[in-house]
Amino acid sequence: MTEAKVVIAADIGGTNIRLARISEGLILEEVHHQADFSTLQDMSKLEAEQHILLTIEQAMQQLSQEDIQGLGIGFPGFFISNSGVLAASPNIPQLSNFALATKLSERLSMPVTAQNDALCAAIGEQTFGAGQGHANLLHITLGTGIGGGLILNNTPYIGESGMAMEFGHLKVEHDNESRLCGCGNRGCVEAYASATAISTRYNELAGISTSPKDIYQRAVNGNQQAAGIFENAGMYLGTAIALAITLLDIRTVTISGGLIGAWDILHPNIMTSLNKNLIPPLQGKISVAPSTLQDNAGILGAASLVIVSHAS
Ligand SMILES: [Zn+2]
């Protein structure tokens, strides 16, 4: 009988690290570790690397190490193939060619894999969630930013330089007035439909700085401005999904992240705009479904990437 694989998976966010002990797609134990990566901006490359390694190592110590056979990390950045080498991270510009997996593996004396966080979510969704049974899947993470992960013929597709499916930076508005995105360009879907964009837009219209969750509640209570922002976000998401589908001819799209709490407003608008923008033979053929894994898609995907050897 094969022993069950027990690994730790880590989801690295901007302000905290979430870690879980996972076996066969089941979360056995989890912790949230505070980690303020905004201070990395002022550090040298070497200091930033050391800070990340040490932070992950400290976070690991909060979980039971019993039977742990490896660590899988979902990280917001681009990785060179399956090497675990971080090529670049948009939010931490000084990090380049950082052998994250190898360095951690040496420190922790266990196998470590590291991959783009949105791709991990795609893998998790296809293996355990709403993408099960679909050989081709486009998965979108709808949070502070917008990410994308692509599975083609049951294989995660990462692109030539690890940057495939930068879904958040598909352009959905083209005039000079279009909104500025964190990437430096204008008109990206992330500038209209991310959690950050929704809060920013509501603040501009209503003069109130609040969370997307609260804005959604206002929409449910009949606030037209709040509802309009989610309707627009859905329309822009549909436009971006149509661009991706036109290139890929994929029938199944799944979406995870905090904003799917507003699914009843987002989904009809996504579908209207998607079908309007698709070429006619594909109209009505695409399913867009919310994640069935709450916020666990990324961490389950990161865990499934860990390759452990069973010593006999
Ligand atoms: Zn952008």
**Cα(187) to centroid of ligand 1, in Å?**
7
Residue 126: its pLDDT value, please? 97
CA 198 – CA 13 distance, rounded (Å)? 19
Where are the extended beta strands (E) located within 155-266? 155-157, 252-256
Query: Per DSSP, which regions of the chain are E strands?
Result: 6-12, 16-23, 26-34, 71-75, 78-80, 85-88, 96-98, 112-116, 137-142, 146-152, 155-157, 252-256, 287-290
71 and 7 Cβ atoms separated by less than 8 Å: yes
Amino acid 74 reads G
Q: Two tokens at 105? A: 């593996």
Q: What is the pLDDT of residue 66?
A: 85
Place of tokens 């033979």: 281
Q: Distance from CA of residue 58 to its chain's centroid?
A: 23
Distance from C-alpha of 71 to C-alpha of 306, rounded to nearest angstrom:
6
Domains defined for the chain, CATH in brackets? 6-120+297-304 (3.30.420.40), 130-290 (3.30.420.40)
pLDDT of residue 289: 98
d(CA 83, CA 126): 22
pLDDT at residue 268, rounded to an integer: 98
Cβ count near 12 (within 10 Å): 26
Cβ neighbours of 184 (radius 10 Å): 9
pLDDT tens for the chain, 312 residues long, are: 456 789 999 999 877 899 999 999 999 999 999 887 778 878 999 999 999 999 999 999 999 888 899 999 999 889 998 899 999 887 788 889 999 999 999 999 999 999 999 999 999 999 999 999 999 999 999 988 899 999 999 999 999 888 899 999 999 999 989 999 988 899 999 999 999 999 999 999 999 999 999 999 999 999 999 999 999 999 999 999 999 999 999 999 999 999 999 999 999 999 999 999 999 999 999 999 999 998 999 999 999 999 876 543
Contact indicator for 95, 88 with CB cutoff of 8 Å: yes
Sign of CA dihedral 186, 244, 122, 308: negative
What lies within 8 Å, CB to CB, of 83 at 6+ separation is 99, 101
3-state secondary structure of 174: coil
Query: 181 C-alpha vs ligand 1 centroid, how far in Å?
Result: 5
Identify the pLDDT of residue 2: 57
Q: How far is the CA of 189 from the centre of ligand 1 (A)?
A: 7
Quick one: pLDDT at residue 310? Answer: 54
CA 68 to chain centre: 25
Residues around ligand 1, an ion, CB closer than 5 A: 169, 181, 183, 185, 188
Q: How many angstroms is it from 186 CA to the middle of ligand 1?
A: 7
Query: Separation of 169 CA from ligand 1 center, angstroms?
Result: 4
| In contact, 223 and 156? CB cutoff 8 Å | no
pLDDT for 309 equals 60
Distance from Cα 4 to the centre of ligand 1, integer Å: 41
Span from the CA of 178 to the centroid of ligand 1 (angstroms) = 11
Cα of 182 to ligand 1 centre, how many Å?
Answer: 6
Q: How far, in Å, from the CA of 234 to the mean position of ligand 1?
A: 17
Distance 287 CA to ligand 1 centre (A): 25
179 C-alpha to center of ligand 1: Å?
10
Q: How many angstroms is it from 183 CA to the middle of ligand 1?
A: 4
Cα–Cα nearest to 256, from 284, 289, 287, 286: 289
What does the pLDDT read at residue 28? 95
pLDDT at 160: 85
Q: What is the pLDDT of residue 312?
A: 38
Please give the pLDDT value at position 117.
Answer: 93
Taking the centre of ligand 1 as the mean of its atom positions, its distance from the CA of residue 221, in whole angstroms, is 32
Q: How many angstroms separate the alpha carbon of residue 184 from the centre of ligand 1?
A: 6
Give the CA count within 13 Å in the CB-facing half-sphere of 27.
Answer: 20
> What is the rounded distance in angstroms from the CA atom of residue 186 to the CA atom of residue 209?
23
